[in-house]
Amino acid sequence: MEASHVKQLITKAGRSVQTQDQNLHERNDAMRHHWEKAVCQELGVPDRYSKVAALMIRWDNEFDKDLRCETETNKLESVFRENYGFETETVLLKCHQKKPETQLLRDVTAFAYEHDGHHRTTLLIVYYSGHGYLDSVNGQQELHISGNEDPATEDGETTHVPIACWKSIDDHLHSLDADVLVIMDCCFASKLHKSDGQHSRTFEVLAATDNITPSPGPLSYTNALIDILNSEFKLYQSRREHSFDTIHLQDRLCKRLKTYSPSLINRLQSRIARHIRLAPLEPPSTSEKPHKRVDRSIATLRIEIDFGRNKSLSQKEATDLGKALAAGAKNAKLNITGLNWIEFVPRIPTVHKSCSVTIGAAVLVQMQRAMRRRAQRLSRRKRSHNEASNRDSRKRQRTTSSDQVDTPPPSSPDNNP
């Protein structure tokens, strides 16, 4: 009983930490958003993507006879193109003449060559829907995408196995300048490894699951993604300033898809804790001043700002601070192209420290009580056992003594005269 109580306490406290951690992120993200908007306006650089291109990857119907991903892929492509104004391209993987992996690498490279740009202005989205599985490559488990296991062979053409290792695609996407968002609706999609190094750009993966994912239909990952993107677009229609980041998107996907666990993976060890932010693209206004060209940074100055009172910043405070610092940076005439918000850290007390102490102390008290109760039970059991042993010993002694009294002495043989 005590052990189950301790377990319930740990579970409850863990949920509390998760909730407070989510609240902390939401506050940090809101402050960062207002800060970045103010800084970019003051420096004359774009505060959102001016170009977004999406590459939709699936297997040709000949090699996709079981899942039939065409319908959902086309629906998502339509949402990207019609509602959000993104440029879209579709790749149909085939197995004739060339290996699918060769075709895929060619098409992804051509897509990147056409659309790659500075990460402040350009986002590239790569979407895949189909089969996925893990296989060893140089001793490491790597994600492979696949079509039907037994494709038909056409007369006069060599049909290759419908399999492609995703690693070569992932390596190429790492080398780009733009921000990258990969969306993988396949089994084992979240089994991707985080890369090393420090980067200023963002490369994230929205993965359906780390195990088996449902086929296209009402319960599929892509179907949920389409519904959420449409609902966010409706919010944008009512409020043109509306945008949302991948953390928000991931949170909504998790609440919608409760039977499996979608993942958001940061593919880079970024020095800036920045998530990709999505919003419909708007045509450039003639009244707006054109943004100046964003140069690649060649040096970085890191500073910390200490607050004597504030544990967080309001929208106005974050905006005013961003404007003031950006104005100073512009007046310095040093070609400063950005002031990046790294992280806002409240020093006393941090959520995690206070929660950890609370959890640890509470669990320790419960464990101590459980141990005392266990010791008391063992003591009572031992005392009861000793008393029973003593009673048995006394009983045996009384029985032995009684037997000696009741038994007559042995008679001696008669002596006849």
Q: What is the pLDDT of residues 127-163, one digit of tens each?
A: 999 999 999 888 888 999 999 865 555 555 657 899 9
CA 149 to chain centroid, in Å, comes to 31
SS3 146: strand
- Torsion from C-alpha of 53, 59, 61, 65, nearest 10 degrees: -130
pLDDT at position 380: 83
In contact, 188 and 143? CB cutoff 8 Å:
yes
Q: What is the 3-state secondary structure (H, E, C) of 238-252?
A: HCCCCCEEHHHHHHH
Q: Nearest CA to 120 among 347, 308, 274, 288?
A: 274
Task: Check pLDDT > 60 for residue 406.
Answer: no
Q: Structure tokens of 321?
A: 């601070």
pLDDT tops 80 at residue 18: no
What integer pLDDT is reported at residue 189 of this predicted model?
92
The count of residues in the chain is: 417
Of residues 15 and 75, more confidence is placed in 75
Q: Stretch 308-329: mean pLDDT, rounded?
A: 82
Mean pLDDT value of segment 263-285: 81
- How far is it, in rounded angstroms, from Cα 106 to Cα 378? 73
Instruction: State how far the Cα of 305 lies from the Cα of 4, in Å rounded to an integer.
Output: 46
- pLDDT tens figures, 99-117: 999 999 999 999 999 999 9
The CA distance from 106 to 151, in Å, is 22
Backbone angles phi, psi at 331, to 5 degrees: -70, -25
Q: What is the pLDDT of residue 169?
A: 94
pLDDT > 70 fraction of the chain, expressed in percent and rounded: 74
User: What's the rounded mean pLDDT across residues 350-361?
Assistant: 48
Q: Which of 238-247, 248-257, 269-278, 331-340 has the highest mean pLDDT?
A: 248-257
Q: Which of 121-125, 222-226, 291-295, 396-400 has the lowest mean pLDDT?
A: 291-295
- Return the sign of the alpha-carbon dihedral for residues 219, 223, 224, 225: positive
**Of residues 55 and 293, more confidently modeled:** 55
CA distance 68 to 148: 11
Strand arrangement of the beta sheet that strand 163-165 belongs to: 131-137, 140-146, 163-165
DSSP 8-state symbol, 63: G
Q: Mean of the per-residue pLDDT values for the chain?
A: 80
Max mean pLDDT among 44-48, 85-89, 381-385 falls in: 85-89
pLDDT at 410: 53
Average pLDDT over residues 45-66: 92
Contacts of 313 (CB under 8 A, 6+ apart): 31, 321, 344
Name which residue leads in pLDDT, 359 or 233.
233
Higher pLDDT, 234 or 3: 234
* Range ranked top by mean pLDDT from 218-232, 236-250, 351-365: 218-232
* Structure confidence at residue 337 (pLDDT): 76
Residue type for position 143: L
Provide the pLDDT for residue 343.
75
pLDDT at 293: 56
Domains and CATH numbers, the chain: 50-280 (3.40.50.1460)
Does 226 score more than 70 pLDDT? yes
Q: Label residues 94-106 b or e (16+ Cβ within 10 Å = b).
A: bbbeeebbebbbe
Indicate the DSSP class of residue 310: -
